Structure 1
C-alpha cells in the first residue's frame, strides 16, 4: 500500500471531517458522537408517493423498484382494474424506513379529483412520482398543479414504453425508428405539462418489464441529486443494482462513511484494551459488512431476484464472484478471523500513521488508533471486493441481453 492508495482510501476532506469530530471531546466522546450519527442515518424516513390514473402500472413500479415480483410476499397488488382504494405504504424489504406509497388511481369513479389530495394527505410525502401510460390526460395536469401549489416536487414517469414500441413496430414496419418514437412520446408529455402551466417538467420513460432500459437510471440519478443530503444516502442504498453507474454511486457513498464506522467500532478499545475485545465493537463491523453485501445485491435473496429478472442461472452468476468470503454468511467469528490476519495489521499501522498526520489526537491513544486503522482497512478492503464482484455479477447478468 503506497501513499497514493492511502489518499484515495482516506482523502483530505474525510480527514478534515475526522479532525472536526475530535474538536469537542476526547477519543471516546468522538467515537460515541460518530456512532450516534451513523445509527441515526438508518432511521431517517423516506416517503415516496406513487400516483397516477388507474391501470398505469403504479403497483408494478413499486414492486420492481423494491426488487420484488408481483407475486412475491410483500408485493403491492396489481391487476387490470383499480386495486388500490386507500393510500397503502410498502416498505423496502431491507430498508424498512424507505416506504413507497401506492395511492388510489386518479380519474376512477371512486374518487373525485378535487377531494383526492386531501384524501391522500399530500404533505406527508418527500416527493411524488406521477405514473402515466398510453397517453397524456387532463388528470395528470390537475395533479401536477396541485403538487406544485404545495411546494412539493413531482417527477412524471411515462410507463409501459415496451408496449408502445411494440405497437409502433407493428404499425410502422417500413419506417420504424425507436429513437424518434421515444422522442415523440417524451415531447408529448413535456408539451402537455408545459401547456398546463408546469415550467421545466421532468419526464422519464421506462418499462417495468425491462427496468435496465430507457430512463430508469436518469430517474434514479435525478432523485439522488435532488434529495436532501441526509435522505440521499438512504434512497441510494435502497435501489436495485441494474446499472454499473448505480454500483459506483453506492461504492462512493459507502467509502465516504468508512472512517465513521471504523472510529465508532474503535471507541471502546481506547480504554485501553488490546485490539477488539468488546463484542459490540465487532458487532458494528459485522452489521456494516452485511449492509455492504445486501446493498450490492450479493446476498442470496438479491442474487435470486437478479437471476429471475434477466432469466439467468443463479449458479452462473455466483461463479464470477472472486472473493469467496462474499458468499459466506457474515458472522462474528468470520470478522474476528479477518481482523487477526497479519497483512491487515500491517495495513492498519499505515492507515493510523497517515490519519494521525491530520488528526493528532487519534495517534495519542495507542489502542484506539490501532483499532481504528484495523477496522478502517477491513471495511475498505471488503467494500472494494464486494463492489468489484457486484460489477462482475451484473456483467454476467447482462450478457446476451439486447
Structure 2
C-alpha cells in the first residue's frame, strides 16, 4: 500500500489487496480507508515554562494564538495539567500541552508518572533559550521507555531579529551558533538533532525537516495522520502532501465501487459518492483550502482573505463529485446468457469505472494542488 499507484489498473488493485472478487476487494479498500482516517496520533509537547509550547501546538494545528480552541499562551505558567488539543479537521491527531518541567506544580522526578507517559507516541521537548538539566533528565527517562523524543529550539525569529541590525550580521552564522549552544548542553545524550523553529513562520528554518524526521519514525498509518495534519507552509510541504494523497487514490476509487461484478444483465456499476466526497474533502482540508485554514493564513500573513480566496478556482469536493461523469460502459451483447460471458463483460465495466474514477480523482487533486500554489503565492509563501 505504500508504493505509488499512479499506473495501477483494476486487476493490479485487486492483486494488491489479495482478493479475486471485486466486491470483496471494494469492501476491503473501504475498510482500509476507514482505518487510515481512524488512526490516532498523540504528540506530547513539553519543556520549561515560557518556552513556547502552546504557540508551537497552535502553529502545528494551523491556528493563531488568539483563534477559537487555541492553546492559551502567556508569559506566566498557563498549563497546570496536561491539556489535549485536537486538530481542527483531523480530530484523531492530538497534541498535548504538558505542564512545564520543574515548575512548583510538577517536579522533574515525578513528571512522567503525573502526565501518564504511556499515552503518547512521541515527545517534543521545547526550549526558547538553551536546553537545561530538566530537559536532559526527561530525554533520558523517555529513552528508558524506548519512545521517541525530539528537541525543538523555538523563537528563532526573535534571535535572528535581535542581531539583524548589527554590522556583521550573518543569519546562517547566527543559526549555527544557536545549534552549537544547544548541542553543548545536550552532550550527555550524544549528539541529538536539534530543530530550529519559529512558530510564527513555519516555512522558515527546520519545521519541514522536523516533519520529515517524525514521518520516518512513525508507522505508515500514523505517518498518514501526521502529514495530513500539518499546515501547508511552503511549496515543499505542499509537494509532500501531494505525494501522500496520490498513494491512496486507488483505494478511494476501488472502495467506491458498489456491485463491481453484478449478476443482473445491463446493470451499470454503481459509484458510492460518499467515499469519493470523503476522500476529496480530506484532501481539501489537508491542503488548507477550507475556510478556517484560509482565515488563519490571512491573519497570520496579514493578507486580505478575499485575495487568498480569489486564487481558488477548483469546485468544492461535494460539487465536483455531483458533476462527476463516471459512466461505466455496458456491453450491449446478445450473448449474456452464455456461461461466464456476462461476468467477463461486467469485469470490463468495473475496470472502466475504476480507471475513470482514478482519472477524475487525480485531476481533482492536481487542481487543488495548483489552487494551493496560487494561495501560497498570494500569501507570499511561494519561495
TM-score (norm 1): 0.84
Please tell me whether residue 226 in structure 1 is matched to residue 217 in structure 2: yes
Query: How many angstroms apart in 2 are the aligned matches of 1:363 and 1:203?
Result: 59
**What SS does structure 1 have at the residue aligned with 2:135?**
helix
Pick from 148, 155, 174: which aligns with 1:181?
A: 174
> Residue 398 of structure 1 aligns with which residue?
380
Query: How many angstroms apart in 2 are the aligned matches of 1:370 and 1:238?
Result: 33
> Residue 5 of structure 1 aligns with which residue?
none
Pick from 368, 377, 381: which aligns with 1:386?
A: 368
Displacement of 1:113? 0.6
> Residue 195 of structure 2 aligns with which residue?
204
Displacement of 1:320? 2.8
Pick from 263, 271, 274: which aligns with 2:254?
A: 263
Judged with a 3 Å threshold, the aligned counterparts in structure 2 of structure 1 residues 161 and 84 are, in CA distance, closer, same or farther, namely: same
Please tell me whether residue 374 in structure 1 is matched to residue 356 in structure 2: yes
**What SS does structure 2 have at the residue aligned with 1:39?**
helix
**What SS does structure 2 have at the residue aligned with 1:339?**
coil
CA RMSD, Structure 1 to Structure 2 (Å): 2.5
> Residue 81 of structure 1 aligns with which residue?
76
Give CA deviations for 1:80-130 in whole Å, capped at 9, x if unaligned.
Answer: 111111111110010010000000001211111100111111122111100
Query: How many angstroms apart in 1 are the aligned matches of 2:344 and 2:375?
Result: 39
Displacement of 1:382? 0.4
Judged with a 3 Å threshold, the aligned counterparts in structure 2 of structure 1 residues 201 and 217 are, in CA distance, closer, same or farther, namely: same
Asked if the contact 2:249–2:361 (Cα under 8 Å) also holds between the matched residues in 1, the reply is yes
Judged with a 3 Å threshold, the aligned counterparts in structure 2 of structure 1 residues 306 and 97 are, in CA distance, closer, same or farther, namely: same
Query: How many angstroms apart in 2 are the aligned matches of 1:363 and 1:162?
Result: 63
Judged with a 3 Å threshold, the aligned counterparts in structure 2 of structure 1 residues 369 and 397 are, in CA distance, closer, same or farther, namely: same
Judged with a 3 Å threshold, the aligned counterparts in structure 2 of structure 1 residues 151 and 400 are, in CA distance, closer, same or farther, namely: closer
Query: How many angstroms apart in 1 are the aligned matches of 2:134 and 2:5?
Result: 50
Query: How many angstroms apart in 2 are the aligned matches of 1:223 and 1:13?
Result: 32
Displacement of 1:14? 9.8
Counting matched residue pairs gives 366
Asked if the contact 1:266–1:375 (Cα under 8 Å) also holds between the matched residues in 2, the reply is no
Asked if the contact 1:276–1:282 (Cα under 8 Å) also holds between the matched residues in 2, the reply is no
Instruction: For 1:244-283, list aligned pairs within 5 A.
Output: 244-271=235-262, 274-275=267-268, 277=270, 281-283=272-274
> Residue 111 of structure 2 aligns with which residue?
116
> Residue 30 of structure 1 aligns with which residue?
25
Displacement of 1:9? 6.6
> Residue 336 of structure 2 aligns with which residue?
none
Judged with a 3 Å threshold, the aligned counterparts in structure 2 of structure 1 residues 222 and 362 are, in CA distance, closer, same or farther, namely: farther
Please tell me whether residue 310 in structure 1 is matched to residue 291 in structure 2: no
Give CA deviations for 1:58-98 in whole Å, capped at 9, x if unaligned.
Answer: 01111111011222111111111111111111100100100
**What SS does structure 2 have at the residue aligned with 1:77?**
coil
Judged with a 3 Å threshold, the aligned counterparts in structure 2 of structure 1 residues 15 and 275 are, in CA distance, closer, same or farther, namely: closer
More helix by share: 1
Long gaps (5+) in structure 2: 332-342
